Amino acid sequence: MKMVIAIVQDQDSQNLSDVLTKNDFRTTKLASTGGFLRAGNTTFLCGVDDTRVDELLTLINKNCGNREQLVTPVTPMGGNADAYIPYPVEVEIGGATVFVLPVEQFHQF
């Protein structure tokens, strides 16, 4: 058994949740915040049999797409903010960050 932890953008969260439910994957959703853009994310926790890990990873990959977005950098701390002129920067966002961990024991009460 494996524990799959998938961190996805909020924009992809509902669609991924629907697809996982449709394909009989049980998940727990947690609201989370990214450190880089400080944008909303959703973290999915999913206990999966070893034989279904690849299927789950494929569904995550197909439903969490990358896209480009303009963001304005945060004002630097400790510097002179009067001389700082923030220019929008184009960054790639989306996709998913996925961790697959072995599960030593599983109990359901």
- Answer with the residue of higher pLDDT: 2 or 74: 2
Q: Number of structural domains, the chain?
A: 1
**Beta carbons of 36 and 74 less than 8 angstroms apart:** no
What's the CATH number where 34 sits?
Answer: 3.30.70.120
**Distance between CA atoms of residues 88 and 24, nearest Å:** 42
Does residue 16 contact residue 64 with C-beta atoms inside 8 Å?
Answer: yes
Confidence at residue 85, expressed as pLDDT on a 0 to 100 scale: 63
Sign of CA pseudo-dihedral 44, 50, 52, 56: positive
Confidence band of 88 (pLDDT split at 50, 70, 90) = confident
Residue 43 has pLDDT above 90, yes or no: yes
More confident residue, 63 or 37: 63
Q: Is 79 inside a domain boundary? A: no
d(CA 3, CA 100): 6
Would you place residue 55 in the very low, low, confident or very high pLDDT band (cuts 50, 70, 90)?
A: very high
Average pLDDT of every residue of the chain? 84
- Per-residue pLDDT, 29: 95
Residue 107 forms part of a structural domain: no
Whether residue 6 is contained in a domain is answered as yes
